[in-house]
Amino acid sequence: MHNVWLVIQREYLERVRTKSFVILTLLMPAIMAGVILIPTELAQMKSGGIRRIVIVSSNPELAAAVRQELTVKPQKPEEAPRTESGENIYRVEIDADVTDAEREFLRQQVNKEAIDGFLWMTDDAIARRQLTYSTKDVTNFDESMALRNAVRTALIMTQLGQIGMSHEQVSSLLKPVTIDSVRIEKGKEGASAAAVFVTAYVMVVLLYTVVLIYGVAVMRSIIDEKSSRIMEVLLASVRARDLMAGKILGVGAVGLTQIVIWMAIAAGFAFFGRSMAGPAVQEVRLPLSSIVFFGVFFVLGYFLYSTMYAAVGAMVNTDQEAQQVQWFAMLPIILAFVMLFPVLQHPTAPFAVWLSLVPFFAPILMLVRVLVAQPPVWQLALCLVLMVATIYGLLLLTSRIYRVGILMYGKRPTLPELRRWLKYAG
């Protein structure tokens, strides 16, 4: 045990003293904060402006209704051409000439930037509910949506007005309805759906990233020591199994240290920077149980994947060979991440339950279920038992490969050779 502790100390101190550890520890929270804050700021800084549009229609009543839906109060010329929310201000003209010559003329106007676009709204196009908006800014999806909503509302208001409904009645009828989904927690309404999603996604991405980073770190540490023949010196005083255990525990302690620092930074952001984030982030509340399960699944997930990476490092001799072999260690956690969104949407469905019990998927999928909809105790207990049993089996298997492979140099072993290694080490 003394030798294991010495290896743990060596692996831990060797990494936490590096510049890359300090940079990554500080950079990751900055990246996560940017992912959360920048979209919010950009959403509040829409580059609105005056948009000059021509509505071409032989139905002046409908065209006027569309213009009414689009236009806002005109601004004074000296004011900035944008509203406080950054939305577009539309200057709309109505053109009753629906000939091909007029259409070609308007195309030239758009090309000369005399107008920003024109909406071709003939009777036939209205009947087919398929209009054409010609513009240079075809990727301006906000404008396309504004036009679509304006035409839809104008059509409804025009048709309902024809059967005697007043403008106020139609406006009341078309007023949008909002539904806020909130989770019931201990008989009380808790966080909103957006807050639950943000919490689950951020914590899963964090776990996925850290487990992969430090699993690969174990593999590369073994490869480096094999290629420099330091391994032969180490094995003169430390057993192979102790060396593997020390590496896994030491590198894992580095990852845990990093997560604790990130959690502390996140707590500071929660107290001092929450008002800068969007409403979904402001509603995020992390109960103690979620933090505990995050730590549990990080530790178990790390042991699960680092043992596989240790086996890969013992089998290969260079980073190039490792890149060709490590896919079998990465594939399960990548598949779990791919299945994240279906499980996030339906955490109690049978497929979500069974997938979250698979040990190689559990660090991601069971954590999602814990964060979104607390699973039954028996499922959590079964998941943890299966993960511990799998880790134990992998440790036995990997230790045999490790014991022989760390002193093997030359070509990468084939499957028959791996079987001989396991038989020899057993």
Query: Which CATH number belongs to the domain containing residue 120 in this structure?
Result: 3.40.190
Under 8 Å CB-to-CB from 305, ≥6 apart: which residues? Answer: 211, 212, 215, 329, 333
* 238: in domain: yes
pLDDT at site 280: 47
Instruction: Look at residue 391 and tell me whether its pLDDT is greater than 70.
Output: yes
* 153: in domain: yes
Residues 271 and 376 in one domain: yes
14 neighbors 253 (Cβ within 8 angstroms): no
244 neighbors 396 (Cβ within 8 angstroms): no
Instruction: Look at residue 306 and tell me whether its pLDDT is greater than 80.
Output: yes
Residues 143 and 252 in one domain: no
Residues 32 and 58 in one domain: no
Residues 130 and 255 in one domain: no
Q: How buried is residue 146: exposed, middle or buried, by Cβ count under 10 Å (0-12/13-18/19+)?
A: middle
Residues 276 and 158 in one domain: no
At residue 73 the predicted structure's pLDDT band, cuts being 50, 70 and 90, is very low
Closest by Cα among 391, 29, 36 to 199: 36
* 98: in domain: yes
Residues 244 and 393 in one domain: yes
Residues 125 and 53 in one domain: yes
- Cα–Cα dist 297/288, whole Å: 14
* 179: in domain: no
Residues 91 and 208 in one domain: no
Please give the average per-residue pLDDT across 107-135, as a whole number: 88
Q: Which of 139, 173, 207 marks a domain boundary?
A: 173
Please give the average per-residue pLDDT across 283-300, as a whole number: 75
Please give the average per-residue pLDDT across 132-150, as a whole number: 84
pLDDT at site 386: 94
Name residue, tokens 């513009």.
135
Instruction: Look at residue 389 and tell me whether its pLDDT is greater than 90.
Output: yes
Instruction: Look at residue 42 and tell me whether its pLDDT is greater than 80.
Output: no
* 225: in domain: yes
Instruction: Look at residue 385 and tell me whether its pLDDT is greater than 90.
Output: yes
Domain housing 407: 2-37+191-425
Residues 129 and 196 in one domain: no
337 neighbors 366 (Cβ within 8 angstroms): no
pLDDT at site 11: 79
The residues that bridge with 55 in the sheet, in sequence order, are 94, 119
Instruction: Look at residue 384 and tell me whether its pLDDT is greater than 90.
Output: yes
* Helix residue ranges, H only, 316-376: 319-325, 327-338, 340-345, 350-357, 362-372
Q: Which of 89-103, 225-239, 286-300 has the lowest mean pLDDT?
A: 225-239
* 350: in domain: yes
Instruction: Say which residue, 382 or 88, is predicted with more confidence.
Output: 382
Q: Which of 140, 173, 206 marks a domain boundary?
A: 173
Residues 59 and 157 in one domain: yes
Instruction: Look at residue 122 and tell me whether its pLDDT is greater than 60.
Output: yes
Percentage of the chain lying above the pLDDT 70 cut: 75
116 neighbors 137 (Cβ within 8 angstroms): yes
Instruction: Say which residue, 71 or 229, is predicted with more confidence.
Output: 71
Please give the average per-residue pLDDT across 250-273, as a whole number: 75
Assign 3-class secondary structure to 302-333.
Answer: HHHHHHHHHHHHHHCCCHHHHHHHCHHHHHHH
Angstrom CA distances, 134 to 48, 124, 143, stand at 19, 17, 12
Residues 210 and 315 in one domain: yes
pLDDT at site 78: 37
Q: What is the pTM of this model?
A: 0.63
Residues 324 and 410 in one domain: yes
pLDDT at site 424: 60
Q: Which of 65-79, 91-105, 381-395 has the lowest mean pLDDT?
A: 65-79
* 76: in domain: yes
Instruction: Say which residue, 154 or 229, is predicted with more confidence.
Output: 154
Q: Which of 173, 202, 225 marks a domain boundary?
A: 173
pLDDT at site 355: 92
pLDDT at site 367: 87
pLDDT digits (tens, 9 = 90+) for 205-227: 878 888 888 888 888 887 777 77
Please give the average per-residue pLDDT across 101-110, as a whole number: 90
Looking at the 3D structure of the chain, how many domains does it have?
A: 2
* 115: in domain: yes
Q: Are strands 188-192 and 89-95 parallel, antiparallel or unpaired?
A: unpaired
